[in-house]
Amino acid sequence: MLLPGAPARASSLDRFSQFLSATQSAKGEFEQKVLDKGGRIVQQSRGTLAFQRPGKFRWTYVKPYAQLIVGDGTRVWIYDQDLRQVTVRRMDQALTSTPAALLAGNNEAMRAFRMSDQGEKDGLEWLEAVPRQKEGGFERVRMGFGSSGLEAMEFYDSFGQITLLRFTSLTRNPRLESSTFRFSPPKGVDIVGE
């Protein structure tokens, strides 16, 4: 029940819709934890991210292992520096029904998910997105919206693991150089894929 004069809280579906319509690009930092079925932390990492709609993104993992993931609008490049290996896939194959499609995709990509409002928890309004087709290796994604916009994402995979992402310093609609979303494999690396 709302008291007269009390502001209505926007649902997570409304917050997500507002985020999509008002955000063409973003950049920031993230911390990531992967939990096993028992809830134990099995991996921790951190890095930076940038995206620009439609279909361009850059995730740079700096700790504990250097890894770069770049979507240039046509292809997705994954560069594992320690392995000296680049994996490349066509964007339409790599993004369909994946969590990256929720951030960097277009409105068409949104139709690949069933969305539902999950209410408030830990000070965030949560939205759940379940892929209509089980292609990406995950069961569902939860997105948490707070006072600064998108603050968290949780990925639940088909093996019972949960990947937790917390965003900090997320700036909406910054001017991003086109070179941010270009990738040229370094000389001497193995290239797997197309």
Spell out the residues 6+ positions from residue 179 whose beta carbon is closer than 8 angstroms to its own: none
Tens digits of pLDDT across the chain (194 residues): 333 443 445 788 888 888 888 889 999 999 999 999 999 999 999 999 999 988 899 999 998 889 999 999 899 999 999 999 999 998 877 665 566 667 776 666 667 789 999 999 999 999 999 988 776 678 899 999 998 889 999 999 989 999 999 999 999 999 999 999 999 999 999 999 87
Q: Which CATH number fits domain 12-171: 1.10.132.50, 2.60.40.10, 2.50.20.10, 3.90.1150.10?
A: 2.50.20.10
Using CA atoms, how far apart are residues 171 and 160, in angstroms rounded to an integer?
A: 32
Q: Alpha helices, DSSP H only, in the chain?
A: 12-22, 91-95, 99-104, 107-110
